[in-house]
A and B are shown apart, each in its own frame.
Chain A
Amino acid sequence: MALEGLWLAQVMKHSSWLYPTIETMHIWGIGMLFGSVVIMDLRILGVASKLSLSDLSRLGVLVAVFGFGLAVLTGSLMFITQASELISSRLFILKMCLIFLLLANAIILRMRTVSNGISKTQALISLAGWASVIGMGRWLAYV
């Protein structure tokens, strides 16, 4: 695929320190996203209900969005070094689809003004889903 021929892909492949650094930053992004998602989802599920959800979300969403952006950016950089291999991997496509679904789930959850049973289900989906996305990403290196 032509993507691997991009100047940026070549730099990623041949610089000795860049690829491992981008991998590290990908994990920073995942840490920020998953960490804040767990805290906000637990709060929606009724844990630490004394904490105000809106206050918690004010910071939580900010960190989560920043982490997500970082993960997407660094993930794309790793993707272009092996684009044709990854695009033909079922696991990779599944991971990308799950990310889109979880993104939609998060947006719907955020738009809902009242917290109810549906919100709780969505929080559970979010917890299980993001955990799975991380697992899939890790497995991509092995299967």
Chain B
Amino acid sequence: MITILKRIILSCLLLNLGIAHAHHGWSEYDQTKAVKLNGTITQSGYEHPHGVVKLNADGKSWTIVLAPPFRMENRGLSESDIANGALVTVEGYINRSQPDGLRAERITAGNKTVELR
């Protein structure tokens, strides 16, 4: 039993050491710098746990994290508003470890602006 415990602890330590900082969680977004992007959606994910779209803007492809689908729906941003090819403006924060990742605070699609937080 003790050997099994030792093995679990050891492999946990090794696993933890081996993990690269690839993770893009909430705190990874640099909240000191707000960025505004204007572009075309090339891939749309109106999905759980939060919406994600690919946006062509400023000559590159961004990964934009939005809000949970229920919240977007309640605030009037429907799936069709952020469909492929839609022209949108997003404002938010860039990921420190992933320069093409942005967490959007608000999105403007058509003539409506929706707060995402």
Mark A residues whose CB is within 8 Å of B. Answer: 12-16, 18-20, 78, 81-82, 85, 88-90, 93-94, 97, 100-101, 104, 108, 140-143
Contacts and interface: CB of A to CB of B under 8 A. Distances in A.
Interface string B1-42: 100110011001001100110111111000000000000000
Contacts, number: 65
B26 A142 contact: yes
Contacts of B27: 142-143
Interface residues of B, number: 24
Contacts of B24: 85
A88 B20 contact: yes
Contacts of B25: 85, 89, 140, 142-143
B70 A90 contact: no
A82 B45 CA distance: 13
The 4 closest A-B pairs by CB, nearest first: A97-B12, A19-B48, A13-B47, A88-B22
Main secondary structure of the interface of A (DSSP, over half): helix
Question: Which has the most chain A C-beta neighbours within 10 Å: B9, B22, B23, B69?
Answer: B23
A81 B48 contact: yes
Contacts of B49: 19, 78, 81-82, 141
B1 A16 contact: no
12 contacts: A13-B47, A14-B48, A16-B70, A19-B49, A20-B48, A81-B47, A89-B23, A90-B23, A93-B12, A93-B15, A101-B9, A143-B27
